[in-house]
Amino acid sequence: MTETMETTDTTGSRGSRLLGVVTLLGLATLLLFAFALTEPDVRLHPTTGQEIGQFDAVRLLYLHVPLAVFTYVAFVLCAVASAGYLVKRTAWFDTMAYAAAEVGTVFCGLVLVTGSIWGRPVWNTWWEWGDVRLMTTLVLFLMFTGYLALRRATVDPRASARRGAVVALVAVLDLPIVNRSVEWWENRTLHQKSTLGELKIQDLTLFTLMLGFLVLGLVLAWLLLHRFRVGWLEREDAGHGVATAIAERRADIDEGDVDAAVGEGA
Amino acid sequence: MSRFFADARLVAAKDLRIEARSRVLLNQVAPFALLVLVLFGFALDADQRTLRAFAPGLFWVAVLFCALLAIQRSVSVEQADGALTGLRLSGMSPAALFVGKASAVFVQLVVLEVLLTAGIIVLYGSEVEQPLLVVATGLLAAVAVACTGTLYGALASGLGVRETLLPILLLPVLAPVLIGATRAFDDALGNAAVDGWAWLGLLAVFAVVATAGGALAHGALVDE
């Protein structure tokens, strides 16, 4: 039924290998800039002259902020692909939704971890209940953990695809309500407003942050590409197994049995 | 349209009749609800003032736990003897089936909420200052939980790991309901100076979205 168009024993291709090399070099450059070349965030208090700021903790933001943005990109991609699946019912949309959800969940976990580590010295707490973005991201992470558990638990690929699509859409629709409710709940946020628009941050800092966006965008693309190919191969493999099983059963059963079974069912 | 509601009523009546005859709600879920209240008492050192201050939150966490049981039950009655296949072949619309199943869960949740309200009044010493707000919150939150739960019950149905999967799927999605209903109860029980009616608005939005979304999505799920 499902013939593999080309037999490969790897999910890599020339393009993806090139992308991988560029991504890894970019990641190394980013780490060099973020952790060595940029200055720590130290400012002098205008009246007392004390040293204030985020000090070395600011370096984590070069990873944290782009990770957070691409987490949302991945989950939106998952929701769009899920909607696409419910309309078109093609394997491409489903495989894309699953891949985006998995990579998005990993990114989301990293956002929470880096944020927590950053928050300890800067906010003086590992965790801040009441912070809208923090709570929304955590609920999002938990919802997609459920999504992945559901996908893994469902054996029938079509059922898995449909149920997964509904869960992903519900998760994304629920998100604004979660966000609203947490905001009303405590009505306060520790998160700093974006300082990008005012261009207050210095040249090298801005460059490193932009490099972070570029590199983590590449990381997302690279991981998505491979996860999508793995998903596609899994699907082909499952299709192969079913086709073989059906063929074997067909060979075993003679026509009289089939008629009897159909008669009984009707 | 009248056919739709007739079908929904039929399904709801069927589920409630099963509950009335098997007495699972009365004999197992209701005692569990009270047990949860007692356990919170043990965990919080039986300090009446603490219990009273946290009564709204404890109440709604207990409702969510019991809702999980009611939803599991609602799913499992359709699993036996291929009952769901029978319902699907009966020609009724998946949306009517959804509304019927959700209504039955809703009725059970309301019964549990009445019981738990009596529980927090007796055990935690809570006082109902705004009865209307308590009733409105209870009803809207029950609609929200019943509809979301029925949809997610359908998602997890037929899986061997249903019992463990349903909580992690359902509870994060219900986070806004927990927050909203708790805050509304904070106002209604005179625990905190918040505007409970504004929170009711959020619950109403959630309930409407859950009902409409559930009815629409249910079609895609049961016609596997």
Bigger pLDDT: B90 or A108? A108
- Is A101 an interface residue toward B (CB < 8 Å)? no
pLDDT level of residue B50 (50, 70, 90 thresholds): confident
**pLDDT on residue A4:** 46
Summarize the confidence of residues B127-151 as an average pLDDT.
95
- Which residues, numbered 163 to 222 in chain A, qualify as contacts with chain B under a Cβ-Cβ cut-off of 8 Å? 163, 165-167, 169-171, 173-174, 177-178, 180-182, 184-185
Nearest chain B CA: its distance from A232 CA (Å): 22
- Number of independent structural domains in chain A: 1
Evaluate whether residue A168 is within a structural domain: yes
Summarize the confidence of residues A41-51 as an average pLDDT.
77
Which of B155, B160, B179 comes nearest A181 by C-beta?
B179
For A158-216, the pLDDT digits (tens) are 888 999 999 999 888 888 888 777 777 765 556 665 655 444 566 788 888 899 999 99
**pLDDT on residue A256:** 57
Evaluate whether residue A236 is within a structural domain: yes
Evaluate whether residue A53 is within a structural domain: no
**A89 three-state secondary structure:** coil
Evaluate whether residue A42 is within a structural domain: no
Residue count of chain B: 224
Bigger pLDDT: A167 or A9? A167
CA distances (Å), origin B137, targets B88, B113, B122, B203, B205: 34, 10, 20, 8, 12
Evaluate whether residue A22 is within a structural domain: no
- Is A266 an interface residue toward B (CB < 8 Å)? no
- H helices of chain A, where? 14-32, 61-88, 91-122, 132-153, 157-186, 203-252, 255-265
Evaluate whether residue A235 is within a structural domain: yes
pLDDT level of residue B91 (50, 70, 90 thresholds): confident
Summarize the confidence of residues A142-147 as an average pLDDT.
94
Most A-contacting residue of B174, B179, B221 (CB-CB within 10 A), to test interface: B179
| CB contact (8 A) between residue A153 and residue B221 | no
* Helix pair angle (A14-32, A203-252), 10° resolution: 150
| CB contact (8 A) between residue B165 and residue A146 | yes
Show residues of chain B in contact with A149, CB under 8 Å.
Answer: 165, 168-169
- The ipTM (two decimal places) reads 0.83
* Residue ranges making up the domain that contains A66: 60-189+201-208+224-253
Evaluate whether residue A82 is within a structural domain: yes
> Is the predicted pLDDT of residue B205 greater than 60, yes or no?
yes
**pLDDT on residue A228:** 94
